[in-house]
C-alpha cells in the first residue's frame, strides 16, 4: 500500500442523514476525501443506469474515486441461488455503470444467519457460486470484494478467496467485524491484507467481563485496537488500495459469553491460538468511558434522540477522518489544501 | 436481570408491553403490603428547567402521591405568598411535598459560594421553605467524594455538619420539619451518615436514602438500607449497573428495573423497614460508566475505615453485573460543552426514562397510591 493511500468514507456510516447518492459524494468532496464507498444506498434512482452514469460523471468532476456495487449475501437455502446469481450479475452491471471496479458480497450477516450445515460446506458453496460468475466479472474488469462480516474467521475468508481465484475475488477488509468473531483485528489484517481490495477502518473497545468479553464499536482512535500497528501492517502487506473510515457507533456493547459452553457451540471451528490472541487484546481494554448516543437499536426513537444520532454519525465520521489524517497519515487530497 | 439484555428496546416498547390489569395483578403478588407513596426528585427533570408549579403538574399528570423539590432553585420565589400558593396547589392535587436544599457542610468543597453566609442559615432557610410548602422533611447533603481525599479527613467534615445541625436543633423541632441528610455523590458510607444522625439527634435529623450513590463508596444499596432504615424519612431511588473491570469495577446509573439491584427485594425490605417513608425516584441516566478502582491501593486512601464485610457484599454485587447493553444517550458529562441537538436528546431522555421508571415502580413494584384510582 502507498505511504499515503487514498482516504475515503463509507456512506453507511452516515445512514441516518438519509442523503441521496449525489449528496453523499458532495459530502465526501467537502471533506477533501480521495474516494467514497457508496454502501446501502437509499437513493430512489439506485437501480437506474442513467443514475450510475451521473454518479460516474459527478465523481470525476469532484475528483473522487467512487466504488459501490453490492450483491448481498449467499442464500440460506439452495432455492435462493438463482436470485443470488442474478444479484451478482446485476452488481457487476451496477459497478461498471458507475465506474467502480468492486462489487461487495458476503457469506452472511452473522454466524447465526449462515446457511444450515457445516461452515466448510458453506465456504464450498461460496466458492462455487463465485466461480459461476467468474467470466462476467473478468470480462467487465470487476472484482468481488468479500466482506469479513460476523460470519467466518479471517483464515476461512482467505480460503474462500484463494479457492475462488484472486484474479476476480478479493477482500473487503473490515477492521470492526473481527471482534464479533473473537478475532484480533490485527490478525485479520495480517491474513487478509495481501488479498485486500479495500480497507475499511472501524475501532472497537474490547474488554473482559466475568464470564466472557464485551465488544462495542467506537470512533476511530478511541478504542482498544492499535490502529497505528494496523496501518503499519497494511502499508507493509496490502496492495495499492483505498482506506475508508467506517464508524458504526451508537450501538450498545455486545457480550460474548466465551466461558459458556452453550455459546461456544456456535464456534466449533475457532482456533485456540486465535482466541488467546483475542483475550490478550481484551485484557488491555476497558468499557468505553466517553460519551455516546447509544440509540442505534431496533424501534423508532423520539425525534430529539433521532436528531442526536444523526448529529453523532457525522461527528464521529469527521473525528475519525481527522484521526486518519493527523495520526495515521492517510489520504492525499487534504494535503494540498 | 432480564431487563438488561433488551433494555435498548424497553424505552420504546415498555408501555405497550404490559397489559395494565395483568401487570398490576403480578405486581401485587410480587410485593404486597402497606402502600408506599410514589413520587420523584425534581433533579430527574433538571434539563427542562421547570419551576415548582410545572413540576407539581407533571407529578399530577402521572398520578403521583409525592414530589421532592430538592433544590431551592426549583422555586420562582421564596416569598411566603408564593410558597403558600404552591402548598395549596399540592393540596388540590393530593400531592405531598418533601423539601430540599443543597450542601450544608461549611468545610466541604461543595459548599456554594453564593447563598446565606453560614451553614446554619442555609439549613434554616431550607427548613422554613419546606415548612411553608407543607413538607415534613428537608433533604440536604454534606458534600461529594472530593471531601474524602482533601486536606481534611471526612470525619472533620462530619463533625462540622453535626455542629451545624446541633446549632439549629430547637428551630428545626419548632418548625416540625426533619432534616434528611443524603448519602450523596460518594461523600459518605451509610454507617457514616448514621453517625451524623445519631450524634446530631435522631429526633430532628433523619436520612434521605439514596440507592445510586452507594456505588461510589463501594457499598451494596442493601447495606445502605439496612444501616439507615430506622432513620429514613425520604429517598432517592435509582437503579444501577455494576460490573467487574481489571481495575476493580465500574458503575453506571440506569432506568429503574434495567439494573442489577434486586428492586423487588429492595422494595420488600423498604416496605417492611421504612413504612412511612416516601419513595422518590431520582433517575439519572445519560452518564458514562464511572471507574471504581478498588484493586488499586490508592483508592483505599479515601476509605481507610471501610468494613471488609460490607465491601465483600459490594464485590458480590459487581460479580453479578455486566456492562449496560441497552440504549442510552450518554452525553451528560460534567464540564463538556454540547451542541444544542444533544442537549435536546438528553432532555427528552430525562422525561422518557423517568416515566418508564415510574411505570416500573407502579406495575412491577406495586408502589404508589393515587394512580390506582
Model pLDDT for residues B303-328, shown as the tens digit of each residue: 999 998 889 999 999 999 999 999 99
What chain B holds in terms of domains, given with CATH numbers, is 2-372 (3.20.20.150)
Q: What is the pLDDT of residue B12?
A: 54
CB burial readout A150-179, b (16+ within 10 A) else e: bbbbbebbbbbbebbbeebbbbbbbbbbbb
* pLDDT, chain A, mean: 96
Query: Does residue A259 lie within any of the structural domains?
Result: no
Q: Any chain A CB within 8 A of the CB of B57?
A: no
**Predicted confidence band of residue A209 (pLDDT cuts 50, 70, 90):** confident
Interface test with B, best of A301, A309, A314 (most B CBs within 10 A): A301
Residue B39 has pLDDT above 70, yes or no: yes
Long-range contacts of B220-225 (CB under 8 A, 24+ apart): B220/B310, B220/B313, B220/B314, B220/B316, B220/B317, B221/B261, B221/B266, B222/B265, B222/B266, B222/B269, B222/B313, B223/B190, B223/B310, B223/B313, B223/B314, B224/B183, B224/B190, B225/B266, B225/B269, B225/B270, B225/B273, B225/B274
Q: Any chain A CB within 8 A of the CB of B125?
A: no
Contact assignment for B289 to A298 by CB distance below 8 Å: no
Contact assignment for A254 to B325 by CB distance below 8 Å: yes
> How many domains does chain A fold into?
1
Q: Any chain B CB within 8 A of the CB of A206?
A: no
Which domain covers residue A182, as residue numbers?
7-202+224-249+319-336
Contact assignment for B12 to A253 by CB distance below 8 Å: no
> Percentage of chain A with pLDDT > 90?
92
* pLDDT, chain B, mean: 92
Residue B45 has pLDDT above 80, yes or no: yes
> How far is the C-alpha of B102 from the C-alpha of B201, rounded, in Å?
20
Nearest-CA distance A295 → chain B (Å)? 5
Nearest-CA distance B319 → chain A (Å)? 7
Q: Which residue of A has its CA nearest to B321?
A: A210
In A63-113, which residue ranges form alpha helices assigned H by DSSP? 81-98
Whole-model pTM: value is 0.82
Nearest-CA distance A260 → chain B (Å)? 15
Contact assignment for B329 to A294 by CB distance below 8 Å: yes
Q: What is the pLDDT of residue A211?
A: 81
Q: What is the pLDDT of residue A257?
A: 92
Query: Does residue A294 lie within any of the structural domains?
Result: no
Q: What is the pLDDT of residue B23?
A: 44
3-state DSSP call for residue A198? strand
β partners of residue B141: B103, B182
Distances (CA, A) of B262 to A92, B1, B220: 56, 9, 11
Query: Does residue A214 lie within any of the structural domains?
Result: no
Query: Does residue A137 lie within any of the structural domains?
Result: yes
Contact assignment for B348 to A304 by CB distance below 8 Å: yes
> How far is the C-alpha of A295 from the C-alpha of B366, rounded, in Å?
29
Q: Which residue of B has its CA nearest to A282?
A: B246
Query: Does residue A215 lie within any of the structural domains?
Result: no
How large is the average pLDDT for residues B21-30? 42
Nearest-CA distance A68 → chain B (Å)? 31
**Predicted confidence band of residue B1 (pLDDT cuts 50, 70, 90):** very low
Q: What is the pLDDT of residue B10?
A: 53
Q: Any chain B CB within 8 A of the CB of A308?
A: yes
How large is the average pLDDT for residues B238-244? 96
List the 173-232 stretch of B: residues with Cβ below 8 A of A. none
Q: Which residue of A has its CA nearest to B250?
A: A287
Interface test with A, best of B293, B330, B333, B356 (most A CBs within 10 A): B330
Query: Does residue A310 lie within any of the structural domains?
Result: no
Nearest-CA distance B139 → chain A (Å)? 30
Query: Does residue A25 lie within any of the structural domains?
Result: yes
3-state DSSP call for residue A158? helix
**Predicted confidence band of residue B340 (pLDDT cuts 50, 70, 90):** very high
Residue A11 cell numbers, joined: 456512506
Residues of chain A neighbouring B323 (CB-CB closer than 8 A): 209, 214, 253, 255, 287
- Number of Cα atoms under 13 Å in the Cβ half of residue B271: 19
Give residue-wise pLDDT tens across range A237-253.
999 999 999 999 999 99
Q: What is the pLDDT of residue B29?
A: 39
Q: What is the pLDDT of residue A220?
A: 98
How large is the average pLDDT for residues B78-107? 98
> What is the interface size between A and B, counted as CB pairs within 8 Å?
110
Interface test with A, best of B341, B350, B352, B356 (most A CBs within 10 A): B341
Give residue-wise pLDDT tens across range A143-196.
999 999 999 999 999 999 999 999 999 999 999 999 999 999 999 999 999 999
Strands (E), chain A: 7-10, 35-37, 65-67, 69-73, 102-106, 143-147, 169-174, 196-201, 203-209, 212-218, 242-245, 254-256, 292-294
Q: Residue A115: which CATH number? A: 3.20.20.150
Query: Does residue A28 lie within any of the structural domains?
Result: yes
Contact assignment for A299 to B322 by CB distance below 8 Å: no
> How far is the C-alpha of B69 from the C-alpha of B101, rounded, in Å?
8
Amino acid at each position: 500500500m502507498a505511504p499515503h493511500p487514498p482516504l475515503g468514507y463509507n456512506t453507511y456510516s452516515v445512514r441516518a442523514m438519509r442523503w441521496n447518492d449525489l449528496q453523499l459524494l458532495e459530502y465526501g468532496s467537502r471533506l477533501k476525501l480521495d474516494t467514497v464507498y457508496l454502501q446501502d444506498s437509499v437513493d430512489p434512482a439506485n437501480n437506474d443506469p442513467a443514475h450510475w452514469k451521473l454518479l460516474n460523471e459527478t465523481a470525476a468532476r469532484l475528483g473522487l474515486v467512487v466504488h459501490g456495487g453490492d450483491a448481498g449475501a449467499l442464500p440460506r437455502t439452495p432455492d435462493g441461488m438463482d436470485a443470488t446469481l442474478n444479484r451478482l450479475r446485476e452488481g457487476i452491471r451496477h459497478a461498471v455503470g458507475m465506474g467502480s471496479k468492486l462489487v461487495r458480497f458476503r457469506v452472511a450477516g452473522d454466524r447465526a444467519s449462515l446457511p444450515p450445515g457445516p461452515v466448510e460446506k458453506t465456504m464450498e458453496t461460496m466458492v462455487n457460486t463465485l466461480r459461476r460468475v467468474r467470466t462476467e466479472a473478468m470480462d467487465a474488469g470487476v472484482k468481488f470484494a468479500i466482506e469479513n462480516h460476523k460470519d467466518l474467521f479471517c483464515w476461512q475468508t482467505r480460503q474462500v478467496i484463494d479457492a475462488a481465484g484472486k484474479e476476480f475475488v478479493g477482500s473487503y477488509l473490515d477492521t470492526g467485524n473481527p471482534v464479533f468473531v473473537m478475532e484480533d483485528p490485527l490478525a485479520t489484517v495480517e491474513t487478509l491484507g495481501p488479498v485486500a481490495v479495500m480497507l475499511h477502518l472501524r475501532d472497537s473497545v474490547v474488554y473482559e467481563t466475568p464470564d466472557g468479553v464485551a465488544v462495542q464499536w467506537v470512533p476511530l482512535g478511541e478504542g482498544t485496537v492499535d490502529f497505528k500497528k494496523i496501518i503499519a501492517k497494511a502499508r507493509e502487506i496490502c496492495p495499492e488500495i483505498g482506506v475508508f473510515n467506517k464508524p458504526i457507533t451508537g450501538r450498545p456493547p455486545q457480550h460474548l459469553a466465551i466461558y459458556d459452553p452453550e455459546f461456544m457451540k456456535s464456534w466449533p471451528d475457532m482456533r485456540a491460538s486465535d482466541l488467546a490472541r483475542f483475550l490478550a487484546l481484551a485484557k488491555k481494554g476497558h468499557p468505553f468511558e466517553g460519551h455516546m448516543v447509544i440509540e442505534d437499536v431496533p424501534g423508532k426513537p423520539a425525534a430529539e434522540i433521532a436528531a442526536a444520532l444523526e448529529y453523532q454519525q457525522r461527528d464521529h465520521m469527521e473525528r475519525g477522518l481527522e484521526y486518519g489524517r493527523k495520526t495515521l497519515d492517510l489520504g492525499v487530497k487534504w494535503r494540498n489544501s | 436481570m432480564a431487563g438488561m439484555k433488551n433494555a435498548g428496546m424497553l424505552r420504546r416498547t415498555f408501555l405497550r408491553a404490559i397489559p395494565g390489569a395483568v401487570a398490576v395483578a403480578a405486581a401485587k403478588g410480587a410485593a404486597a403490603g402497606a402502600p408506599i407513596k410514589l413520587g420523584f426528585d425534581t433533579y430527574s427533570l433538571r434539563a427542562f428547567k421547570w419551576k415548582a408549579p410545572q413540576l407539581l403538574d407533571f407529578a399530577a399528570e402521572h398520578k403521583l402521591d409525592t414530589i421532592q423539590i430538592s433544590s431551592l432553585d426549583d422555586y420562582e420565589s421564596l416569598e411566603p405568598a408564593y410558597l403558600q400558593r404552591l402548598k395549596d396547589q399540592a393540596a388540590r392535587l393530593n400531592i405531598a411535598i418533601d423539601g430540599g436544599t443543597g450542601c450544608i457542610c461549611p468545610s466541604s468543597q461543595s459548599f456554594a459560594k453564593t447563598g446565606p453566609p453560614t451553614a446554619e442559615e442555609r439549613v434554616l432557610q431550607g427548613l422554613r421553605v419546606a415548612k411553608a410548602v407543607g413538607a415534613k422533611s428537608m433533604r440536604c447533603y454534606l458534600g461529594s467524594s472530593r471531601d474524602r481525599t482533601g486536606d481534611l479527613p471526612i470525619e472533620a467534615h462530619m463533625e462540622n455538619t453535626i455542629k451545624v445541625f446541633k446549632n439549629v436543633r430547637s428551630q428545626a423541632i419548632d418548625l416540625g420539619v426533619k432534616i434528611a441528610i443524603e448519602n450523596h455523590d460518594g461523600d459518605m458510607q451509610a454507617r457514616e451518615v448514621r453517625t451524623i444522625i445519631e450524634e446530631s439527634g435522631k429526633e430532628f435529623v433523619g436520612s434521605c436514602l439514596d440507592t445510586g450513590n452507594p456505588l461510589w463508596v463501594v457499598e451494596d444499596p442493601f447495606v445502605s438500607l439496612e444501616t439507615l432504615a430506622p432513620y429514613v424519612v425520604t429517598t432517592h431511588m435509582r437503579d444501577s449497573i455494576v460490573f467487574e473491570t481489571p481495575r476493580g469495577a465500574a458503575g453506571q446509573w440506569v432506568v429503574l428495573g434495567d439494573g442489577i439491584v434486586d428492586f423487588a427485594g429492595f422494595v420488600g425490605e423498604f416496605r417492611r423497614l421504612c413504612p412511612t417513608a416516601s419513595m422518590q425516584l431520582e433517575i439519572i441516566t445519560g452518564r458514562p460508566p464511572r471507574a471504581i478502582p478498588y484493586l488499586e491501593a490508592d483508592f483505599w486512601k479515601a476509605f481507610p475505615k471501610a468494613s471488609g464485610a460490607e465491601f465483600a457484599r459490594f464485590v458480590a454485587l459487581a460479580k453479578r453485573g455486566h456492562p449496560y447493553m441497552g440504549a442510552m444517550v450518554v452525553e451528560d458529562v460534567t464540564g463538556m460543552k454540547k451542541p444544542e441537538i444533544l442537549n435536546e436528546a438528553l432532555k427528552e431522555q430525562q422525561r422518557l426514562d423517568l416515566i418508564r421508571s415510574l411505570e416500573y415502580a407502579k406495575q412491577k413494584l406495586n408502589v404508589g397510591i393515587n394512580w390506582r384510582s
